[in-house]
Structure 1
């Protein structure tokens, strides 16, 4: 690798790391705020919140890396142009493709990172996140441990706790169970505490009253008790085997799904094939995106008065490529034979980058062509 290639590649990698760190932090914090409100309001601990935010990190990085690569390529190209380094290379006869060779190397590095994320880390993180989410949704005991407000762990259960002591004792408990519409039971107790039983958690109430109301007869019966165990585990639905998300399946499974895989993910073959090939397309797009940014700035020439017009054009072209990908996705998910449309975005991007580099080379060749001396 030539000295200039190493120099430009090092600049690209440094700025790529910086922009990735900034964008991941912003995007991650934004997602974490909503996740924090949801988990803490459900009575989960800070450790659960930290676990969930870490599991969302691979997907956030996957989204951010191509954007960071594009920004780094545009920034480095503009800076080299402003420092007249591009002018020197152009004067020395280097073509646009030769100058852009470090950008291609840089794109290959980013593509490798994207491939590791898309094929391994993101599916594994999504699978773990889905499993933990299901576990938490079944953890109905955490939803009991809130004081001073009416809670509804299920649609037929209402709970109110006046105070929770430091020892975990529930004071002044109210619980209404309307799962049986013909016999609505209301429990009140001076104190209660949660214990683990063979069939799940139990709520042991002390010094309370059970009132059973039968709407069909209008009768209300009451029973006082010193101790009463209420089975909270019965409220937790077994749920059976959960349906898996396509995005948490491995790439080999997506490429050759069995009947069991199709049934467990509730998806069609077209969805499986597109999801698999879209992961490969993301890696290709990671090569094309920075090259498009570089080629657009090269097309505009070298000026000390700014390159905002070229930057806007580059952004518009990236948006165009994304629109092509979105349209292709809609078609590919309807027909398994159209899985190759997953590569339409990278293909269109490659055509645009090639056309821009070719146009730049032609302009420079015309500029070097000697003109005849007028008589």
Structure 2
């Protein structure tokens, strides 16, 4: 039996790696498409795009691993049943729980991987991603110094530069400010320079025209200027004062947050506690999910018509567990004393798996009883 455990575990890990690679690739490509449109549209390079997609990868892997574990458990169990290997083991007297020991080992391995991702890699990647996003938001050159393109560095702001010289001088600048719907201001200038001021960066325009259009009255006022300084500091987000995301914080901080931690992040104490315990619950769910898939397929036993009914039952049970997790989250985030609800979903999963394994053992006993009676006769 120990040899069978190693054999089944190796099959589970092999299929788990394959399905994880496929699902992560699909999920990652879908995420990369949206990032590509956002970053390249803002004038960022392909290296920045690659960096952002790589930083988003740990979270994608954490989401995909339990799904891959479930699919691997169902696939391997079905294949062993179809090849009559399960029948041979059950005939030899092995119980469903004994056969499923390899699935439990497999679930524990997946739980360790999910735990490393949830507690270490994902928070670190989110922190780095938030920092890089703040740096890009402060990158004036990437947001303004792009010639021949209509840029939108902020909502309601449109910038167009016909040409940029080697000295950084902007020729034939167009800037439209629509942040105030009651007064839309359009600036045009023969040339402009980007300089640093005491209160932030400023765009100094020379030999230009400022046109103010008021939609309510339909009037257009025009003012010419020899030089004009436009304060663009408000358009650049200050990354040093950004609000931290709860998902960036370490689990130890979430379990025992200080008032400063709560003040610096968007959330209440209930959010902190639930986020911490939810990370632990994710690891427990990684054990439950493949065990539920295995147990559901073992209930029906061998059938030449396939096990699609058992697969449907397993999928429905997984959906039910996820619904329980979603409902528990909604309640637990409103009351800091209900953090234990984070463990409700894996607990229900263990209970369902135990019931399925018990039913499988009972059905095996009922099938064996008539056979023994016939042999005695």
Q: Is the TM value for this pair above 0.5? A: yes
Contact 1:141 1:232 in 2 (8 A): no
Query: Is the alpha carbon distance of 1:15 and 1:45 closer, same or farther for their aligned partners in structure 2, counting shifts above 3 Å?
Result: same
Quote the residue 1:110 is aligned against. Answer: 110
| Residue 191 (structure 1) shift | 4.6
Contact 2:134 2:237 in 1 (8 A): no
Mean CA deviation greater in 236-245 or 284-293: 236-245
Quote the residue 1:330 is aligned against. Answer: 330
The whole-number CA distance in structure 2 between the counterparts of 1:154 and 1:132 is: 18
Matched, 1:87 2:79: no
Query: Is the alpha carbon distance of 1:284 and 1:141 closer, same or farther for their aligned partners in structure 2, counting shifts above 3 Å?
Result: same
Query: Is the alpha carbon distance of 1:109 and 1:210 closer, same or farther for their aligned partners in structure 2, counting shifts above 3 Å?
Result: same
Q: How does 1:127-276 map to 2 (within 5 A)?
A: 127-154=127-154, 157-163=157-163, 170-176=170-176, 187-192=187-192, 208-211=207-210, 220-224=222-226, 232-233=232-233, 235-238=235-238, 241-276=241-276
Quote the residue 1:359 is aligned against. Answer: 359
TM-score normalised by structure 2 residue count:
0.87
Query: Is the alpha carbon distance of 1:224 and 1:79 closer, same or farther for their aligned partners in structure 2, counting shifts above 3 Å?
Result: same
| Residue 171 (structure 1) shift | 3.7
Structure 2, unmatched stretches of 5+, are none
RMSD value, Cα: 3.2
| Residue 107 (structure 1) shift | 0.3
Mean CA deviation greater in 240-249 or 78-87: 240-249
Quote the residue 2:350 is aligned against. Answer: 350
| Residue 320 (structure 1) shift | 0.5
Query: Is the alpha carbon distance of 1:200 and 1:337 closer, same or farther for their aligned partners in structure 2, counting shifts above 3 Å?
Result: closer
TM-score normalised by structure 1 residue count:
0.88
Contact 2:137 2:237 in 1 (8 A): no
The whole-number CA distance in structure 2 between the counterparts of 1:183 and 1:329 is: 46
Query: Is the alpha carbon distance of 1:175 and 1:363 closer, same or farther for their aligned partners in structure 2, counting shifts above 3 Å?
Result: closer
Structure 1, unmatched stretches of 5+, are none
Query: Is the alpha carbon distance of 1:88 and 1:256 closer, same or farther for their aligned partners in structure 2, counting shifts above 3 Å?
Result: same
The whole-number CA distance in structure 1 between the counterparts of 2:365 and 2:213 is: 93
| Residue 134 (structure 1) shift | 2.1
Mean CA deviation greater in 357-366 or 105-114: 357-366
Mean CA deviation greater in 131-140 or 276-285: 131-140
